[in-house]
Chains A and B, each alone.
Chain A
Amino acid sequence: MKTDDFWRIKNDELISRFKEYTNEAIVTMLWNGDDDAWEYVYLRAVIPVLKSPEIFSIMMDRRNSISSKDVWAMVFNKMLAEKKLSLYDYRCPVVYWMRDYVFGEVQHFCKKNPWPVSDEPYLHTLNNTKAPENYKEEFSDAEKCFVKLWRTNPMRAYVHLLRIQEKMSSKDIKKLLNISSDQNVNKYFERACEDMRMFRDKLEKGEAL
């Protein structure tokens, strides 16, 4: 067996074993400082975040550098010594909660430098001392149409939301929702727009949705 295969098999074994554990069991193991549980966090939360194109480009722009092991050690100390793990509320898979936490921490580390970088709006940097404006708009009709669309066809509605509100590319939507091709994503979006227009027309005519 090649060494590469050996490590890959060990990694796959660890991940499939932890997939069977409940969140409660994993959290208990983390509190107890279990080696495997913390390796799982390293492989599923720390490594993916540091390999994300966004974090990589921020680090390149800022000339920041932080190793995966430094991040892991920071997470280990924050979670146990500072008891951040007690903030986990068991409402989602713990590994994604941890990944979300690591993503935030690494972004925070990168943004300690106040200068904006190419991939980041000026609004989000420390150079902008003005607080973002708190505005509220009435979207009640749009919201009604969207909720109706969701009840009719959640896939179309979510593609619409990801495209319009999240400005996500077809490629990412395809990956996120396991859609077979970019063209199909576009079809979902077009049909969602047609449905939304139809619902809006109904509302304008005073008809019930």
Chain B
Amino acid sequence: MNCPHREDLITFALDPLHEKYADLAGHICTCKSCQNALADINKIILLPDEVTEDDIKSVKDFIRETKNDSKLSLWQQLRETVDEIWNNLSKSEEDTPFSFDNILPVGGVAAFSQLLTGVAAMTSPMGINNTGSEYDAEAVNIGFIANCDISSPYYWKAEMVIPPGITEDGVLIVLLTDNKGREIKNGTFTLLGMELELDYGIAEISFKDFRDNLRNTTVNVRYPDGTVVSGDLAPWKYCF
């Protein structure tokens, strides 16, 4: 038997007394590295769960402060990435300029799936870097999420890509979806303080405007019923 996955070892250690674990236990009995792993896991299982008033009291404020610091550093990273792309624009312009005309059907708005396929097609496999905001010289994925519970009917998520070969006049397309992944058809998306009209889940912003307004971190969605839900740069892994 091969050494088990560490998570399987955790599951085993939490509730070990079953016949189905006979082979696994036999393996542990003869495998030094699994014995060491099990020793560590048993230590963490035996840790006391008691917390004191001091442990709990200020934790909420502290969590908010840390999250804000982390978000500030994300915005800073995004600014640096966009500046880097901007500074390399002249070099990119010598190559074939990127245009969304290539991926959007003539005279209409692409379906979400078409659009995402199109964006993905414009980037190499290395280009989809699945990060909140990261420049890898190919494409940059950026996400924003609503500051509300995911179960809320007003929850929103915005995704955009700075494609490779973007030009100064290039237009960035932002895709807005709700908590079920459906496009938010109407409303206003405020990105970096600029109000963008939503048209079947799509908002557009020029790369120049995006770059020039990155100091303004105001992001929100105004729904047709007047509800405004603010959001922020998403720190999590982004999957297209």
Q: Which residues of A pack against B, CB within 8 Å?
A: 3-4, 7-8, 10-11, 28-29, 31-35, 38-39, 42-44, 47-49, 51-52, 54, 68-69, 72-73, 76-77, 80-81, 83, 85-86, 88-93, 96-97, 99-100, 103-104, 137, 139, 142-144, 146-147, 150-151, 154-155, 157-158, 161-162, 165-166, 168, 172, 175-177
Decide if B29 is an interface residue (CB 8 Å cutoff). yes
Question: Assuming A81-B70, A157-B25, is B235 touching A92 (CB within 8 A)?
Answer: no
Residue interface bits B24-42, CB-to-A below 8 A is 1, else 0: 0111111000010011111
Is there an interface contact between A143 and B51, defined as CB atoms closer than 8 Å? no
A100 lies within 8 A of B41 (CB): yes
10 tightest A-B CB contacts, nearest first: A91-B7, A48-B47, A92-B10, A31-B236, A147-B26, A139-B30, A150-B22, A92-B7, A154-B17, A92-B11
* B35: chain A residues within 8 A (beta carbon): 165-166
Which residues of B have CB within 8 Å of A44? 49
Contact size range, B = 35 or more
9 contacts between A and B (CB under 8 A): A7-B53, A43-B55, A51-B47, A90-B7, A97-B10, A143-B29, A154-B19, A176-B46, A177-B17
Can you list, as one digit per residue, whether each of B66-77 has a CB less than 8 Å from chain A (1) or not (0)? 110010011000
Residue of A at shortest CB range from B49?
A48
Interface segment out of the listed B57-65, B114-122, B214-222: B57-65
* Contact indicator A154/B63 (Cβ below 8 Å): no
How close is B217's CB to chain A, nearest CB, in angstroms?
15
Residues of B within 8 A of A (CB): 5-8, 10-11, 14, 16-19, 21-23, 25-30, 35, 38-49, 51, 53, 55-57, 59-60, 62-64, 66-67, 70, 73-74, 131, 145, 149-150, 235-237
Contact B17 A51 (CB under 8 A): no
Question: In the complex, which residues of chain B have a beta carbon less than 8 angstroms from the beta carbon of A177?
Answer: 17
Residues from chain B with a CB closer than 8 A to the CB of A103 are 40, 43-44
Minimum CB–CB distance for B52 against chain A, Å? 8
Q: In the complex, A8 Cα to B49 Cα: how many Å?
A: 12
A residues near B66, Cβ cutoff 8 Å = 69, 72-73, 76
* A176 and B237 contacting across the interface, CB-CB below 8 Å: no
Bound Cα distance from A32 to B35, whole angstroms: 36
